[in-house]
C-alpha cells in the first residue's frame, strides 16, 4: 500500500493564529485555528493530495479500498475513529466537556471524544486547563461561571514543548 499525502481540512475559529498557515504554506489572510490532518469526520474530511487518488476524500479512499486497510480492527467501526488535529491556539480556547462513547452514540450518533495532546511548541507561560479540582454541583459550577472564578476550579499545568 502506498503512503498517502493528505491535505488538511482547516477550521477558522476566533482563537486561531498564523502558524498553521505558514507551516502548510497556505495562501490565506485568515487565521487558522485547527488543521484536521487525518480526518474522516463528515464536517471536514482530509483530501488525498497526490497520486492517482488526488482530490478524493479520505473516507472515499477507505470506501474504495475496503476497511481492511485500517488494520485488524478496521471493520469494527463505521468510520475511521481517530481525528488528528494540529492546533494554533493564539488565544484562550473555550472550556469544553466531551462525551463518553455511550452518550456520544446515543445523542450525537458518533463515538465519544477522548483526547490526547502533544505540545509541539508554545509560548512561555502557556497553560492547559483540564478537569475539575473537586466534584462540583450544578449550582457551584454555574455560580463560578457567573462570578468568573471557574478557572480556580480547574486543574492547570504550565506546558513546554514535547509535553504529552
- Mean of pLDDT values over 35-58: 94
Cell numbers at residue 99, please? Answer: 462525551
- Mean of pLDDT values over 54-63: 95
Report the pLDDT value the prediction gives residue 41, as an integer from 0 to 100: 92
Beta bridge partners of 155: 130
Three-state secondary structure call for residue 154: strand
- Mean of pLDDT values over 1-12: 89
Residue 78: inside a domain: yes
Percent of the chain with pLDDT over 90: 60
Residue 17: inside a domain: yes
CATH number of the CATH domain containing 15: 2.60.120.10
Residue 120: inside a domain: no
**Interacting residues of 107 by C-beta distance below 8 A, sequence separation 6+:** 99
Report the pLDDT value the prediction gives residue 71, as an integer from 0 to 100: 86
The 10s digit of each residue's pLDDT in 10-42 is 999 999 999 998 888 777 788 999 999 999 999
What total of structural domains would you count in the chain?
1
**Are 121 and 161 a contacting pair, CB within 8 Å?**
yes
Residue 146: inside a domain: no
Domain span at residue 78 reads: 6-95
- Mean of pLDDT values over 61-84: 87
**Are 112 and 99 a contacting pair, CB within 8 Å?**
yes
In whole angstroms, give the CA distance from residue 9 to residue 20.
Answer: 11
Three-state secondary structure call for residue 51: helix
Report the pLDDT value the prediction gives residue 92, as an integer from 0 to 100: 86
Residue 90: inside a domain: yes
More confident: 50 or 111: 50
Residue 39: inside a domain: yes
Residue 153: inside a domain: no
Cell numbers at residue 62, please? Answer: 477507505
The 10s digit of each residue's pLDDT in 90-148 is 888 888 888 888 998 899 888 888 888 899 999 999 999 988 999 999 999 999 999 99
Residue 123: inside a domain: no
Amino acid at each position: 500500500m502506498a503512503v498517502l499525502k493528505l491535505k488538511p481540512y482547516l477550521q477558522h475559529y476566533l482563537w486561531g493564529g498564523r502558524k498553521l498557515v505558514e507551516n502548510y504554506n497556505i495562501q490565506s489572510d485568515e487565521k487558522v485555528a485547527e488543521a484536521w490532518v487525518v480526518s474522516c469526520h463528515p464536517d471536514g474530511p482530509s483530501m488525498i493530495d497526490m497520486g492517482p487518488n488526488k482530490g478524493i476524500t479520505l473516507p472515499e479512499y477507505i470506501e474504495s479500498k475496503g476497511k481492511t486497510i485500517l488494520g485488524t480492527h478496521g471493520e469494527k467501526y463505521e468510520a475511521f475513529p481517530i481525528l488528528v488535529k494540529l492546533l494554533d491556539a493564539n488565544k484562550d480556547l473555550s472550556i469544553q466537556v466531551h462525551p463518553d462513547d455511550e452518550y456520544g452514540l446515543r445523542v450525537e450518533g458518533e463515538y465519544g471524544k477522548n483526547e490526547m495532546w502533544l505540545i509541539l511548541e508554545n509560548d512561555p507561560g502557556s497553560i492547559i486547563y483540564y478537569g475539575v479540582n473537586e466534584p462540583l454541583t450544578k449550582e457551584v459550577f454555574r455560580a463560578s461561571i457567573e462570578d468568573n472564578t471557574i478557572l480556580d476550579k480547574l486543574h492547570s499545568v504550565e506546558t513546554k514543548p514535547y509535553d504529552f
